[in-house]
Structure 1
Amino acid sequence: MPSVIAIVAHPDDIEFLFAGTMLQLAARGWDLHYMNISSGNCGSIEMNSAVTRKTRKEEAMKAAYLLGAKFHPSICDDLEIVYSVDLLRQLASVIRTVKPDVVLTHSTDDYMIDHMETARLAVTATFSHGMPNFKTEPMTSHLEDHNVSLYHAMPHGLVDSYRKKVIPEAYVDITSVIDTKRSALAEHHSQHSWLEASQGMNSYLSSMDEMSEQMGLLSGKFKYAEGWRRRLHIGFSKEDQNPLKEALGDIYYSESNYFQND
């Protein structure tokens, strides 16, 4: 059975950015894996670090259960996501254990460094899947003759960290699963006041709806969508491999002039 792992920085990032695509894959028989690199311990102005960490883990586990995904525990705290060999060894072990056909992660250029560092870690951990001389923690055997494709989500607000517009290479129709995506995000109850205070999202559920609707409008085809860019195949898979397109069929729409845009 094919599998996909979503690797993100914080609890609720999967629900904001990836959950619709994951649900569509699950409907087609894929196994889902769910991992937040960070515990999210800084995501509160009302609870201390320890209580926030515990609360957000509980919320994330409930969301993963609702999505039908296997939950993988976090490996560090907020603002401690750094491109380091320690985190790389731990993440590479997860990749080798899951043996994913697809890895979903953040854009490599986004408004938050935690997102960017998570993407870098996900790329290298995935790239190392077939390297027997790279030792993981815990120790896990490398994957021989294994193809894995890596897709980057859209940055927040569809702009990079220098405010330049970013457009997707492809869109996935999530209209039929938007209610479940919203319900999974709603499990993160603690984030209502935090996101309003720290990032100006006065309703995080409405913000997700608006982002998904904006993606749908950009596609010109779907009411709600998630946008993706597929990473270069070298070191990961065969050149012509595009498992999202193969699995999702007519709910996967590729922008024909994407490579003509500067």
Structure 2
Amino acid sequence: MERTVLVIGAHPDDADIRAGGFACRLAQAGHEVIFVSMTDGRAGHHEQGGIELVERRRAEAAAAADIAGIDYCILKAPDGRLRPTLERRERLIRLIRRLSPDLVLTHRPNDYHPDHRYTSQLVRDAAYMVTGPNVCPGTPALDSNPVFAYLLDTFDRPHSFDPDVVIPIPPDLVDRKYKMLDCHESQVYEWLPYNAGIIEEVPDDPDRRREWLETDPLASFAEMQGAADRLRDRLEGDVEYAEAFEISEYGAELDDELTANLFE
């Protein structure tokens, strides 16, 4: 049975980092996957900005989507200035209704970046409301609430990530995920290394850059690489790479049918 999965990140590379392998796996199995960035990415660089960076990041996301076989939607909120307003909530409600997903993934509400936190709040505020006919009446309400879940992170306060689903990512799809990340040049080879103080370590040669990226030099990538070790007791066999998700109490319960369709 074909399903629809919506991954909502704050920035144009967030979904790729946290759920790129899962997205490739779903697309390969014939499911529909849509990545959404709540902001346009214009703040994510140390040298570029404005419309030039917005267009660059839009092109990077489109290239990554082609590799994964998914769709990518970038909304117009300015990067670094996202707020959980009623207007943005209603836009998100309409978007979720139009796409009618079975599963929605997003950031947890406790996170270092305000855009991540507010993305999480907007998604959680839209949950349940997507089923109310008198809310945004111009867009037909959903008959039932999707399952909502959180993407993996390592934040401990007020509580640490508690995975309900752990997905092993096989080597061929790990390679495809890194191909996706390789498309986000402005981030993985420029802004994130600059912000981490390791920009001088990034090779100039494209092939060597890709090899460097696969060493997981950036904290957010290392978290994903280390997920299999952290969650070893939840995995069977010799799994080297995994992605994990925590089901939110704000959506529908994860039933056996959806689990079998998407996670097994």
Q: Size of the alignment, in residue pairs?
A: 241
SS at match of 1:210: helix
Q: Name the structure 2 match of 1:241.
A: 255
So what's the TM-score if we normalise by structure 1?
A: 0.84
Could you tell me how far apart the structure 2 residues matched to 1:121 and 1:201 are?
33
| Alignment partner of 1:229 is 2:246 | yes
| Aligned counterparts of 1:243 and 1:204: Cα–Cα separation in 2 | 37
Contiguous gaps of at least 5 residues in structure 1: 251-262
Amino acid at match of 2:147: S
| 2:205 matched residue in structure 1 | none
Instruction: Specify the alignment match of 1:198 in structure 2.
Output: 195
Q: Which residue of 2 aligns with 1:258?
A: none
Aligned to 1:140: 139
Q: Check conservation: 1:101, 1:243, Cα contact below 8 A.
A: no
Residue of structure 1 in register with 2:61 after alignment: 60
Residue 44 of structure 1 pairs with residue 40 of structure 2:
no
Name the CA distance, whole Å, in 1 between partners of 2:4 and 2:121: 21
Matches of residues 108-187 of structure 1 in structure 2 within 5 Å?
Answer: 108-135=109-136, 139-144=138-143, 146-155=144-153, 158-160=154-156, 165-176=160-171, 177-187=173-183
Q: What TM-score, normalized to structure 2?
A: 0.83
User: 1:2, 1:174 → 2: CA distance?
Assistant: 19
- The one-letter code of the counterpart of 2:146 is V
What is aligned with 1:98? 99
Aligned-pair identity in percent equals: 25
Preserved contact between residue 161 and residue 246 of structure 2 (Cα < 8 Å): no
Cα RMSD between the aligned structures?
A: 2.2
Structure 1 runs of 4+ aligned residues shifted over 6 Å read none
SS at match of 1:100: coil
Q: Distance in 1 between matches of 2:263 and 2:103?
A: 16
Shift of the 159–107 alpha-carbon distance from structure 1 to 2, 3 Å rule, reads same
Measured in 1, the distance between the counterparts of 2:83 and 2:255 equals 30
Question: How many Å apart are 1:73 and its aligned residue?
Answer: 2.8
- Deviations along 1:11-32, whole A, 9 cap, x unmatched? 1111110111122222322111
